Amino acid sequence: MLEKISQKLIGYRVKAAREGRGWTQDELAKHLDLNDRQSISDIENGKRALKPDEMLTLSDVLDRDIEFFIDPLAVAGEARFSWRAAPEVPEDTLDQFELKAGQWIGLLRWLREQRDSRASVLKRALRLSAQSSYEDAQERAESLCVELELGIVPAESLIEKIEREMDIPVLFVDTVDAADGQSISGATCHLEEMGVILINRNESEARRFFDLAHELFHALTWDALEPEHRESNSVEGRNKGKRIEQLADNFAAALLMPRASLDKLIDRSRLEDIAHLCEVAALLRVAPVTLSWRLFNLKLITDDTRRRLSQEKQRPSVSGPPKRFSPTFVKMLHEALDNGKLSARKAAKAIGLGLNGLIELFAQYDLAAPFEL
């Protein structure tokens, strides 16, 4: 059974619903027949509990179901997102998808709590600020490669290291499509107790890994360098992006293509050999255009070679898209259902798949559904 939600989390929901209506605390106080805004401030800060009749009035005047305020699997009002999305994705479509993503993350947090596996209060963070240079971001990435022992091909173990060493869950998800097949590439979700990275599992392998490294930067620098709610995932948009996003791109490039790996994999006598450089890009799980800029910025190739390499197409991955969500997430969900801590219908609603979809999800991970239809 799901436990009762804390007053602190209810307060987050009240604030989110109030701001969604564009009301001040004074305006909400009048609707609840309270004396002043301080009462609303105390409710939103978790210092004052709502009475049953106040909860009913709140639900009515803010046009929200009571479930919105008391659902322990939700993150409304407390989660902050930074999305990498194509300009073609409408804002209301992104907003709707954010609500869906919030359900996945709320469920993930609840499942972690059932295992008593809350994040450490000592968060890992990169020592970077708004005054940091691109070279600083690259240096931090190179150091992280060594610290995490990512090896010659960092992409091979990056997901495992992010989840196990940094305690940052990574979820591979189906997103939304807009005009011309444009979509949402990924996101970082910031909560008080943890960060979560979302990656579009249907994009190319190279793009998935670059987005993963980019979002890792945001997860590790959120408090010092909070990103915009939405950023472009197009090459043109990234080139015109704000400094934080350019720092993130420099970090991602150095993390996936550290100097030590380039020195090991590239034959210096073949730095003008486009076929050889494409082989290196495939080994590192990056696109030729991404490698071209990394090598050019390191002054290892000429601008002519950069242009020729950037025109090469990425080799398709033979493994196909990763499974939905993650092994850890799905196993925790299966365990909670099997132990009776969560009903199948509640889980299906939170994950947005329906009962049959939930069965199919477990089957992808060779797990028998712990419930019957």
Torsions phi, psi for 285 (to 5 deg): 65, 40
Instruction: Give per-residue pLDDT as tens, 150-160.
Output: 999 999 999 99
Calculate mean pLDDT across residues 70-92. 89
Q: What is the pLDDT of residue 217?
A: 98
Please indicate whether residue 333 or residue 78 has the higher confidence score (pLDDT). Answer: 333
Instruction: Give residue 5's pLDDT.
Output: 74
Structure tokens at 108: 């993930």
In this prediction, residue 1 carries a pLDDT of: 44
- The whole-number pLDDT of residue 240 equals 47
227-265, pLDDT tens digit by residue? Answer: 999 988 765 555 445 899 999 999 999 999 999 999 999
The pLDDT of residue 235: 58
Phi-psi region of 258 (alpha: psi -120 to 50; beta: other; left: phi over 0): beta
Would strands 195-200 and 184-190 be described as parallel, antiparallel, or unpaired? antiparallel
CATH superfamily, with its number, for domain 7-70:
lambda repressor-like DNA-binding domains (1.10.260.40)
Instruction: Give residue-wise pLDDT tens across range 288-319.
Output: 999 999 999 999 999 999 999 999 998 877 77
- Written as six digits, the tokens of 174 are 């189906």
CB 281 within 8 A of CB 291: yes
Q: Largest Cα–Cα distance of the chain, in whole Å?
A: 79
Q: Where are the alpha helices (DSSP H) in 115-195?
A: 134-147, 155-164
Phi, psi (5° rounding) for residue 128?
-135, 155
Could you give the residue range(s) of every CATH 1.10.260.40 domain in the chain? 7-70
Over 70: is that where the pLDDT of 74 sits? yes
Q: For residue 107, how many C-alpha atoms fall within 13 Å in the half-sphere facing its CB?
A: 28
The CATH code for residues 80-256 is 1.10.10.2910
- Tell me what the mean pLDDT of segment 329-345 comes to: 95
| 138 pLDDT higher than 60 | yes
Token pair 């950037």: residue: 310
Is the confidence at residue 225, as pLDDT, over 50?
Answer: yes
Considering the chain, tell me which residue range(s) the CATH 1.10.10.2910 domain(s) occupy.
80-256
Q: What's the pLDDT score for residue 244? A: 93
> How far is Cα 360 from Cα 373, in angstroms, rounded to an integer?
13
**Percent of the chain topping pLDDT 90:** 69
Confidence of residue 3 (pLDDT cuts 50, 70, 90): low
Dihedral sign of CA atoms 308, 313, 319, 325 in order: positive
Question: Of 65-79, 271-285, 346-360, which range is least confident?
Answer: 65-79
Q: What is the pTM of this model?
A: 0.90
Residue 355 class from Cβ within 10 Å (0-12 exposed, 13-18 middle, 19+ buried)?
middle
Pairing of strands 80-85, 195-200: unpaired
